[in-house]
Amino acid sequence: MSLHGQLIEGLPYVEGVLNYAGQADDKPRKYASQRSARSAAPAHEPHTVRIRDMRPVAEFASLDREAFVLLNHRSAVADFSDETAIRQIYYREAERLVAQVTGGTRVVVFDHTVRRRIEGVADRVPGAPRQPSTQIHGDYSVNSGPQRVRDIMGGEAETLLKSRFAIVNVWRPIRGPLRDAPLALCDASSVAAEDWVAADLVYGDRTGEYYLMRYRPSHHWYYVPAMRTDEVLLLKCFDSAEDGRSRFVPHTAFIDPTASTDIPPRESIELRAFVFYEG
């Protein structure tokens, strides 16, 4: 049974402003560097929406339906500024967790991002930490999901692409309980195919593609209030299966209007992992 079937109208909620895709004459384009004046974010269209507390219905969530799940998971990493510990310990922890939840035959973590919010600083400013993303998006498109496998997996890629695969984001606060710029997640089963807007993400050596999303009043949004450091969200950002299961999850940071002004700024880490279903 979906979250929508769990009497969600009775759930606690906040009303937050989320940035949907604005009108554009051409394909939206975002530059992965603030060094250029061309790097302005794509046009956005703010909407005030109801963002429901996920906790009372979290046990009903599914990666194949809503495209997100909330889990308890304590990491052995004590300091997430330690890149060596992240790669040697946290990557392996995440791979085991994702394999257990998804049933994938092989899980490969291929990158991570640590975000530390600084008031008034835009994302991707040289010398500053990565900032929370404030426009609704999906990390990969139907085109860029397979291309990322080719980019990372080298000579194995074409064989791996013959079977189903997914890309899962493992998202965790590294300072908690998190009340500043929490993550809002849209129930993927409430999103229509025509809601997605493909956009270019331009790097110095390649151009990727991701999704923005058009507004629809029937979208169902959730968040985890005061998320703890021993909790993780798994977000399915891509699925090659075209059998009716959810394939992409829209998500964004937002400002909780009920949060006090003296809360610590958001610090979080996200890993991205391939999940291969070989054979």
Condensed to tens digits (0 to 9), the pLDDT of residues 28-58 reads 988 876 554 344 568 899 999 999 999 999 9
Q: Would the pLDDT of 73 be above 50?
A: yes
pLDDT of the residue at 265: 96
d(CA 170, CA 131): 17
Contact 189, 174 (CB under 8 A): no
Is residue 211 packed enough to be buried (19+ CB in 10 Å), middle (13-18) or exposed (0-12)?
A: buried
Peptide bond into 265 cis (omega under 30): no
Number of domains in the chain: 1
Q: Which residue would you say has higher pLDDT here, 271 or 119? A: 271
CATH for 241: 2.60.120
pLDDT of the residue at 33: 66
d(CA 153, CA 271): 17
Q: Could you list the residue range(s) of the whole structural domain that residue 146 is in?
A: 3-276
List the Cα angle 117/119/120 in 5-degree steps. Answer: 120
List the Cα angle 103/184/39 in 5-degree steps. Answer: 105
Name the nearest CA neighbour of 170 among 31, 277, 75.
75
* pTM for the whole structure: 0.94
Among residues of the chain, what percentage have pLDDT more than 70? 94
pLDDT of the residue at 36: 47
pLDDT of the residue at 43: 86
d(CA 190, CA 186): 8
**Both tokens assigned to 216:** 């629809």
Contact 17, 47 (CB under 8 A): yes
pLDDT of the residue at 37: 39
Name the nearest CA neighbour of 179 among 61, 16, 56, 6.
16
pLDDT of the residue at 34: 53
pLDDT of the residue at 6: 65
**Both tokens assigned to 149:** 């496998």
Of 55-69, 77-91, 202-216, minimum mean pLDDT range: 202-216
d(CA 14, CA 52): 7
Q: Would the pLDDT of 210 be above 60?
A: yes
pLDDT of the residue at 30: 86
Give the model confidence (pLDDT) of 230-256 as tens digits.
Answer: 999 999 999 999 999 999 999 999 999
Q: Would the pLDDT of 78 be above 70?
A: yes
pLDDT of the residue at 207: 86
pLDDT of the residue at 117: 95
Q: How much is the average pLDDT of 207-217? A: 95
Of 6-10, 70-74, 157-161, 168-172, minimum mean pLDDT range: 6-10
Residue count of the chain, please give it.
279
Q: How much is the average pLDDT of 111-135? A: 91
